[in-house]
Amino acid sequence: MADIITALGLIAEPFNFVCLIFGVGVGIMFGAMPGLSVNMGLALLLPLAFAFKGMAGILMLLGIYCGAIYGGSISAILLKTPGTPASVATTLDGYPMAVELRQPGRALGLSTTASAFGGIFSTICLIICAPLLAKISLQFSKPEYFALAVFGLSIITSVSSGNVLKGIMGGIIGLFLATVGIDAMSGAIRFTLDTTYLLGGVSFIPILIGVFALAQMLQSVEDCWQKSQLKQHVTIHKVLPSMADLKRCFVTMLRSSAIGTFIGCIPGTGGDIASFVSYDQAKRWSKHSENFGHGEPEGVAAPEAGNNAVSGGAFIPVLTLGIPGDGATAIMMGALMVQGLQPGPLLFIEKAPDVYAIFIGLLLANIIMACMGYSLIRLFVKLTNVPNEILLPIIMLMTFVGTYSYGNSMTDVYVMVASGFIGYFLNKLKFSMSAIIIGIILGGMAEQNFVGSLIMSDGNPAIFFTRPICLFFLAAAAISLLAPFFMKKKS
């Protein structure tokens, strides 16, 4: 009890609390701007965190981490331009609700509620279940990671509701792009076109910005040219979600939060995987599955609860084992070590007040994020009332600046532009951009862990069917892949 009181005292120090609020605000801004990812926000402000003594810098980074994951949903909903990879799935129903149904306030309100729910849920799990979940994640080795990647790839059939075959083709395109570069297992150089730029693989962020932001902007330019885009003034009648929406989405938020927390505690995964898996499961369990892709409330709540729940789950292996759950927590782990907090089991004994301060800081960061989200929703929605003559050049500038700032490379910009034009024409052909992104994200993970598993078993593929967790994910992947075809036959 004394440790908790000490932790509350650390949080209550005015400078520390202001740093937490500042971090959440900056995080939302970074998340909402395409190209400025969670990791980039943490990396850019890491030197500032080092300048602060004690808990202030860590609380600021916690605020950035939570705020940036939520912030990605703002541009995803209003502009169909995911601010972060974790918000890609949010565009599938968030943008149609905001534009086609003309309910941007409802979409942002649901997103804010689900984000806060997922973040608070995962923080409570972190506090209560950290040792148990850490034990489960310890059982994951290469076969389990491969099976998890296969399961992630199987949800392509769900996010490609318009045309499953084209969705699978899009996933194959993503898988091919994931093979470019130096093979991590054998060292072989593949499909680099004799350029040093591709040795490290196809850069993911420029492609993401291109196929979502630039391709959407090109479509908007075409709509303006054809005068087919409806001019509308969006008004917000209420900010908080209705009781009907909350009842409809509560079970979905609870399920997605559990999924996000579990995926977050597995090292090497992240919010992008959690959001797609959460969206897939929400669609499969929903009584309104036919509405997904057309502004379904559960389709907005599920990915946001899932990707924000990763924040607490990802800290489980960091604090208990000293293993970062994703890139953002790797940066956080470095900040903890610089401040004299060595992650691992002894941290709970030697630095108990600081651990509790991190727990309370995560909890407060999600509450502050919700307060900022609700209070600024009306400001966010004004983006939809900005004339296209003003808005489109701003988006174009953001895509170019965000892409260049990611790696300070003009080649990244060229890749983004090429991806944008290709994405524009693929959209015309009804291909799923989400399927391509899933293929890129999970392709490398699947390949490396497949080869590593075969090395572990001396080439015996039976290793994938003799491990319970691995078998569970492979069975779930088979069901996920075959379900759409059986549903078509029944209909």
| pLDDT tens track for 244-282 | 888 888 999 999 999 998 888 776 566 778 888 888 888
> What pLDDT is recorded for position 185?
76
Euclidean distance between CA atoms 86 and 31, whole angstroms = 10
Euclidean distance between CA atoms 157 and 173, whole angstroms = 15
> What pLDDT is recorded for position 234?
53
> What pLDDT is recorded for position 408?
81
> What pLDDT is recorded for position 37?
65
Euclidean distance between CA atoms 216 and 99, whole angstroms = 13
Say if pTM beats, i.e. exceeds, 0.85: no
Helix or strand (DSSP H, E) at 189: strand 189-190
> What pLDDT is recorded for position 242?
84
Q: Is residue 386 classed as helix, strand or coil in its secondary structure? A: coil
User: Which segments of the chain have a pLDDT < 70?
Assistant: 1, 34-37, 40, 43-44, 83, 130-138, 158-162, 225-237, 267-270, 321-327, 344-345, 380-388, 391, 406, 484-491
Listed in sequence order, the DSSP H helices in 325-432 are 327-338, 347-350, 352-381, 388-407, 410-428
> What pLDDT is recorded for position 228?
46
Query: Do residues 344 and 321 make contact, with C-beta atoms less than 8 angstroms apart?
Result: yes
State how far the alpha carbon of 324 is from the alpha carbons of 270, 277, 320, in Å.
11, 21, 10
State how far the alpha carbon of 201 is from the alpha carbons of 145, 173, 189, 192, 443, in Å.
20, 14, 10, 8, 12
Nearest to 387 by CA among 235, 218, 224, 210: 224
> What pLDDT is recorded for position 114?
92
Query: Do residues 333 and 322 make contact, with C-beta atoms less than 8 angstroms apart?
Result: yes
> What pLDDT is recorded for position 367?
93
Q: How far is CA 452 from the centre of its chain?
A: 26
> What pLDDT is recorded for position 345?
64
Helix 271-285 crosses helix 297-321 at what angle (to 10 degrees)?
140
Q: For residue 319, what are the contacts with CB-CB under 8 A and spacing of at least 6?
A: 126, 130, 343, 347, 348, 355, 358
> What pLDDT is recorded for position 255?
92
> What pLDDT is recorded for position 229?
45
